[in-house]
Amino acid sequence: MDSNQIKELASYVHHAEKEKCEVEKITAHLYPGLTIEEAYYVQEELIRQKLEEGFNIIGPKMGITSEAKMRQMNVNDPIYGYVFDYMVINDGDSISLVNYIHPKVEPEIGFILEKDLEGPEVTALDVLQATAYVFPAIEIIDSRYENFNFTLPDVIADNTSARGAVFGTYLRKPDELELDVVGVTLSINGEIRSLGAGAAVLGHPANSVARLANMLSRKGEKLKAGQPILTGGITEAIRLAAGDFVTAKLGGLGDVSFFVKE
Q: Give me the pLDDT at residue 153, please.
A: 96
Q: Look at residue 72 and tell me whether its pLDDT is greater than 80.
A: no
Q: Give me the pLDDT at residue 154, please.
A: 97
Q: Is 155 helix (H, G, I), strand (E, B) or coil?
A: helix
Residue 130, domain extent: 3-260
CATH number, domain with residue 240: 3.90.850.10
Q: Are 172 and 134 in contact (CB under 8 A)?
A: yes
Q: pTM for the whole thing?
A: 0.96
Note the pLDDT tens digit of each residue in 18-41. Answer: 999 999 999 999 999 999 999 999
Q: Give me the pLDDT at residue 66, please.
A: 85
Average pLDDT for 222-241: 96
Count of the separate structural domains present in the chain? 1
Q: Are 24 and 145 in contact (CB under 8 A)?
A: yes
Distance from C-alpha of 122 to C-alpha of 113, rounded to nearest angstrom:
13
Q: Give me the pLDDT at residue 69, please.
A: 76
Average pLDDT for 226-243: 96
Distance from C-alpha of 13 to C-alpha of 233, rounded to nearest angstrom:
23
Q: Is 149 helix (H, G, I), strand (E, B) or coil?
A: coil
